[in-house]
Structure 1
Amino acid sequence: MKYWLLTTEYPPFFGGGISTYCYCTATMLQRNGHEVTVFVNDSRVKGFTEDYQKEIRIVRFNPSQTGSSSFLGHVTNISYEFAYVVKHFIEKEGKPDIIEAQEYLGTGYYLLQFKKLQYEWCNEVKILITMHSPAFLYLEYNHVPLYKYPNYWIGEMERFCIQAADVVISPSDFLVKEVGKRLTYLHKNIYVVPNPFISLEEEEVVEGVAEGEEIIFYGKLSAQKGTFKLLQYFEELWLDGFKEKLTLIGGEDIVYHPEGKTMGTIVRGKYSEYLNNGLLRLEGPIPPSKVASRLRRAKVVIVPSTVDNLPYVVLEMMSLGLIILVSKQGGQAEAITNGFDGFEFDHLEPKSFHAQLNRILNLTVDQRAFIRQNALNSVRNRYNLEVVYKQKLKVIQNELAAQGTSKSFPFIRQPADCTYPQILQKGVNGMLSIVVPYYNMGKYIEETIDSIKKSDLTSKEIIIVNDGSTDPESLRKLIPYRTDPDIKVVDVPNAGLASARNIGAESATGEFLAFLDADDQVATDYFSKATKVLGTYDNVHFVGAWTQYYEGSNKVWPTFTPEPPLVLFHNLINSSGLIFKRATFLYAGKNDKEMPFPGLEDYESVISLVENGFNGVVIPEKLFLYRVRKDSMIRGVSNVKKQVLCDYISHKHRKVYAAYGSELFSLTNANGTGTVLDNPSLDYQSFQRFPFNNPVTREVISLIKKNRVLKKIALRAFSKFIK
């Protein structure tokens, strides 16, 4: 089997849970005869590098191949670059049997978008998503503002990965249920498969574990990892006369956002009394090669996470024959049997921690030996590579054998079933009607019509709606089109853009409908790609694309699938350049001619469609060319007019706005007014103060992350910056 694994973390430069999982998984598959390639982004390399580690191919790539970092946020750009690299290698080597990607940070988001949008290079490739640590869940427990950009958008990418995957695996039932509280799963291809584990004794010779003398927390300090809860429990014990010491071993540099300080700084400040009297000790991170020898002195290792998947620290400690005390709030509780090979407490019953810790400290030598041996046996029997391989292979084989394609696009939040009256005619099957509203645009109309005629879609008709043009030159430019057999010119009294679009739609005969302003253009393959998607999915009713500005600007607007609540907060899509199912547009998307000011009729049309359950998608390519003119209509829409128009839209569509009222309230609180936003992948607040979105500063940030001294300096600066 040809198996590709996409990850943002891989040894030797990363040592966390995702890195460990990917190393163990790649090793497991390679040992069983599969051809394994690991793709990992690495800003230190130029282009691509390929090397082999124990017969596993490692492809490292610089995530700057496409230039998308100039208009996409950092995390979103990495996802797009992963898709590009996969495309590059598929075209060079052919398709793999399966691609596995992490859900964390939406790594597989754009790959899945291209697959679902029917791109031939990937539409038949099976994609497996592994749930590790979704940011939309972990940020919540770390008290990071979920609705602030780009956090919310990253969560949307992760949610889409879970919904769109051919199959999803999770290391714990806990994680499946916890995510399920925040996301209604669209499919049932979700399986619990334990993480494979290569025990430390396979990597190095470990002598027998001596009787421990320390109580240890091992892991990064964070709210989600239970650091605050653990210290609260111990402070209660110490105040009650408890004499045992607690040692915290792990990274201290995670920023706790509500305080704007690192976890190490907070702990050292709040618990200075216990640090001074020796009851509490902070040791900092230790290299993986030193874990076994350092942790051997533990009488108990505590894993107090408030939420977690299946942290490798549990398996590592059990494989060393150490006694562990874990919280019930995570997959760590599924790794043990309470009182047999470890111990469990419940954060919802705080006194259970005290009781269980006391129970462990009072174990006899024989009881401790019994627990230790059982822990060793459990890891060997349940998480060794061969046992996990058989479980994972069964899931993969079932998916590879599955046939058929879905007629439904996997929107994150599936709308209710929607139908429109059967009396509406679909039109000529497969044909696209392109409506060009025209008012005194003689200067540009030839370029616009020429771009339509160059389209690779053969079944199309062009309708120019002359909205009462008065300019003699513009009227003259229409003369040859009146006798062109491929073009129909409809003359109407001037009534504005909304009216012209509606008249054009009603005059059209195609199954599909597009609008193109008389000064814009389209790429040759836009119409064919859009109509292919519309013809594939019953639940996709309009299609957009990324927008390339020209003439007055060379910027790119990377638009996004317009799902609520985000599309209600601000426009996500170039609504002036969409391709529709014509019957849908006529039923629920016609432009409102009664809006207080012109300018947002097409955005209101999208909201109307979405409110009625008619969703759309975006092709992540620059396929629409938008001319930036000083005298364009949109430039005449002031901020005050935008606010008035948005008020009009929200009141007209109060039903859908009310349904997402809580989310919209939080999005506005976190990001300010949506009238000035159009790209949820960006960190707008940082951009206002720091020039993060350029190659030089991105390289500086990358270097800081790799240097411990510079990182500490940057964290101190960050603490002052956010106050």
Structure 2
Amino acid sequence: MKRMLVFGTGSGWENIRNIFDYSKLNIEAFVDNNKMKVGKKYGKKVVITPEEIKNYQYDFILIASQFYHEIIKQLMDLKIPRKKIMPFYEQASLFRYNWIGYIDPRYLEGRVILKKVDECEVEILRGIREKKVDISLLESYKELNFNRIKYNLFKELILLDENHRKDAKELSAKLQNHGLYLKYVSSGHTQVVFREKTVALFISVIIPVYKDVVGLKDTLDSLSNQTIGRDKYEVIVVNDGGEPEIAELCKKYQVQVIEQKPNRGSYYSRNRGLEISKGEYLAFVDADIKVPTDWLKKGIHALKEYDYVAGDIRIDTTKIKSLANYYELKTAFRVNNYILFGHFGPTANLFVKKRVFKEIGGFDERLMSGGDKEFGERIYRFTNFKQSYNDKLFVIHPPRDYKGLLRKLDRVYSGHRQLAILYPERFKLQKIRFIDFLKEVFTSPRNVVHNKLYSFSCLKVLLFYWWIKNIDLYKRMKYAGNLI
């Protein structure tokens, strides 16, 4: 039996705690950086500080947190060998570290493991494209019996040399029958025809707007004071719906405007903005957001290393007037999680190289919500472009009110449903049993944050979190089609 320390006692661990085979693993202790948890018992085991690890005998440290990059560095600074560290939320971790044998067989075809299988397949395909396949990853993948057919196809494709292109094409076609693609097959719904010659080191900012003159003015104001020269960037506003006041505002700020009548949605609008853009680099922002003066400078710098960069989105703390505003402040836009688990960043603060769009097309114009998710996931699944999250590259977003929160939930979950219908092989709707919904109604909300700087009482904050949690679950069930 292997001895294990678990680093992390939050939701990251709660989501995976049941999948392990505890006849092969024994948890010696939990490790956490939260001083409020240290010294207390968690699951009958003591919670210790990272510095106390040296007092324990162990074979592995399992990192059960999405912040594994920072934790790995912290552990290595404590002289802990890298080979003893297993970051669960790293891509394809179960296969990369050969941990399939430690999974309870009952969970091998469960949601958590199937996501890891998917990650492993994507990593193998990336290796095939670059002709640098990690063979140990492939052999670990073979251990799951239901992967055998795909494993054999991978193996044959890897062994082929460049003189057997016809055979490679046939093997690629067979992989496609299993939902695995070496190359993205474009569709008319994502087609973008670039009309302008690309200007090197130039950046185009694209802003779709629908009847929000005040919000657009805030955004254009902040874009007028960038630290890079005005000759280094352009601003393209797509007036979705053809509002006359927006056209007048764009004329005042001397920015390009595309009149779109009737309105077709934000992703259609972004594609039309792309078509007339000149920049080698592209920045996307929404028409109610304020950007710092160095926003474009930082974005260009980030694109020197990556192809797709999702920036942080911070709620405007000066506008926290209601519990709904406060809830937004504490829960909205967890962009780091979006990149880690969904491989996308919101188009409210996104930087992308134009060559990405030239290779795989633009946003899916059929989508009213979730187009940023589909586009980012498409890059991850079908290309070897490098994606990143950058917390220093931030924008300021106004908090939603209560009605805005409800509209957001409807928009998000209707988008999830549309994605599952249009791309069933890539996006799944999570079915929720009605009995689980009822149980959740009588369960306290998790991760409630009360800040004494604001006038809301702890009880009011708790009740509001509980109320929104249940509305969220109700709408998730509704759009998943399993609401009784």
Q: TM-score, normalised by structure 1?
A: 0.36
Counterpart residue number, 2:447: 693
Give the alignment partner of residue 68 of structure 2, picking from 79, 94, 106: 79
Residue 349 of structure 2 aligns to a residue whose secondary structure is: coil
Counterpart residue number, 1:602: 372
Residue 520 of structure 1 aligns to a residue whose secondary structure is: coil
Cα distance in 2, alignment partners of residues 634 and 438 from structure 1? 17
Q: Do the aligned partners of 1:561 and 1:617 also contact (CA within 8 Å) in 2?
A: no
Query: Deviation per CA, 1:51-75, whole angstroms, max 9, x where unpaired?
Result: xxxxxxxx9469xxxxxxxxxxx92
The Cα of 1:650 is off from its aligned counterpart by: 1.2
- Say whether 1:442 aligns with 2:213: yes
- Between Structure 1 and Structure 2, the one with more helix by share is 2
Give the alignment partner of residue 507 of structure 1, picking from 261, 272, 276: 276
Cα distance in 1, alignment partners of residues 405 and 443 from structure 2? 30
Q: Do the aligned partners of 1:515 and 1:579 also contact (CA within 8 Å) in 2?
A: yes
Cα distance in 2, alignment partners of residues 147 and 546 from structure 1? 32
Cα distance in 1, alignment partners of residues 185 and 27 from structure 2? 47
Q: Do the aligned partners of 1:43 and 1:61 also contact (CA within 8 Å) in 2?
A: no
One-letter amino acid matched to 2:100: L
Query: Deviation per CA, 1:594-646, whole angstroms, max 9, x where unpaired?
Result: 45xx2334334445545653645231527244434445996384577436522
Counterpart residue number, 1:489: 257
Cα distance in 2, alignment partners of residues 648 and 132 from structure 1? 30
Gapped runs of 5+ residues in structure 2? 8-23, 39-48, 53-62, 128-133, 143-179, 187-191, 320-324, 433-438, 451-484
Counterpart residue number, 2:82: 101
Give the alignment partner of residue 619 of structure 1, picking from 389, 393, 403: 389
Equivalences for 1:123-202 in 2 at 5 Å? Answer: 134=97, 136-141=99-104, 143-144=106-107, 147-148=110-111, 180-182=138-140
- Say whether 1:477 aligns with 2:249: yes
Query: Deviation per CA, 1:446-497, whole angstroms, max 9, x where unpaired?
Result: 321244345555532222223344364x455334202xxxx33344444332
The Cα of 1:135 is off from its aligned counterpart by: 8.2
Cα distance in 2, alignment partners of residues 589 and 524 from structure 1? 30
Give the alignment partner of residue 672 of structure 1, picking from 424, 431, 436: 431
Q: Do the aligned partners of 1:440 and 1:475 also contact (CA within 8 Å) in 2?
A: no
Please report the RMSD computed on the Cα atoms of aligned residues, expressed in angstroms.
5.6
Residue 249 of structure 2 aligns to a residue whose secondary structure is: helix
* Identity among equivalent pairs (%): 15
Counterpart residue number, 1:645: 418
The 1:450–1:594 alpha-carbon spacing in structure 2 relative to 1, beyond 3 Å, is same
The 1:416–1:143 alpha-carbon spacing in structure 2 relative to 1, beyond 3 Å, is same
Gapped runs of 5+ residues in structure 1? 1-6, 10-15, 21-39, 49-58, 63-73, 90-95, 111-128, 165-175, 185-413, 652-656, 674-684, 697-723
Cα distance in 2, alignment partners of residues 41 and 561 from structure 1? 25
One-letter amino acid matched to 2:275: E
One-letter amino acid matched to 1:693: N
Q: Do the aligned partners of 2:310 and 2:349 also contact (CA within 8 Å) in 1?
A: yes
Counterpart residue number, 1:365: none
Q: Do the aligned partners of 2:194 and 2:274 also contact (CA within 8 Å) in 1?
A: no
Counterpart residue number, 1:465: 238
The 1:178–1:590 alpha-carbon spacing in structure 2 relative to 1, beyond 3 Å, is closer
Q: Do the aligned partners of 2:370 and 2:412 also contact (CA within 8 Å) in 1?
A: no
The Cα of 1:506 is off from its aligned counterpart by: 1.4
The 1:575–1:462 alpha-carbon spacing in structure 2 relative to 1, beyond 3 Å, is closer
Cα distance in 2, alignment partners of residues 507 and 444 from structure 1? 23
Counterpart residue number, 2:311: 545
Query: Deviation per CA, 1:117-164, whole angstroms, max 9, x where unpaired?
Result: xxxxxxxxxxxx9x999485244256445744599579969x99xx99
Cα distance in 2, alignment partners of residues 644 and 694 from structure 1? 28
Cα distance in 1, alignment partners of residues 305 and 234 from structure 2? 21
The 1:515–1:105 alpha-carbon spacing in structure 2 relative to 1, beyond 3 Å, is same
Counterpart residue number, 1:581: 353
One-letter amino acid matched to 1:181: E
The Cα of 1:511 is off from its aligned counterpart by: 0.2
Q: Which has the larger radius of gyration?
A: 1
The Cα of 1:508 is off from its aligned counterpart by: 1.1
Q: TM-score, normalised by structure 2?
A: 0.51
The Cα of 1:504 is off from its aligned counterpart by: 1.3
Give the alignment partner of residue 520 of structure 1, picking from 289, 292, 295: 289
Residue 387 of structure 2 aligns to a residue whose secondary structure is: strand
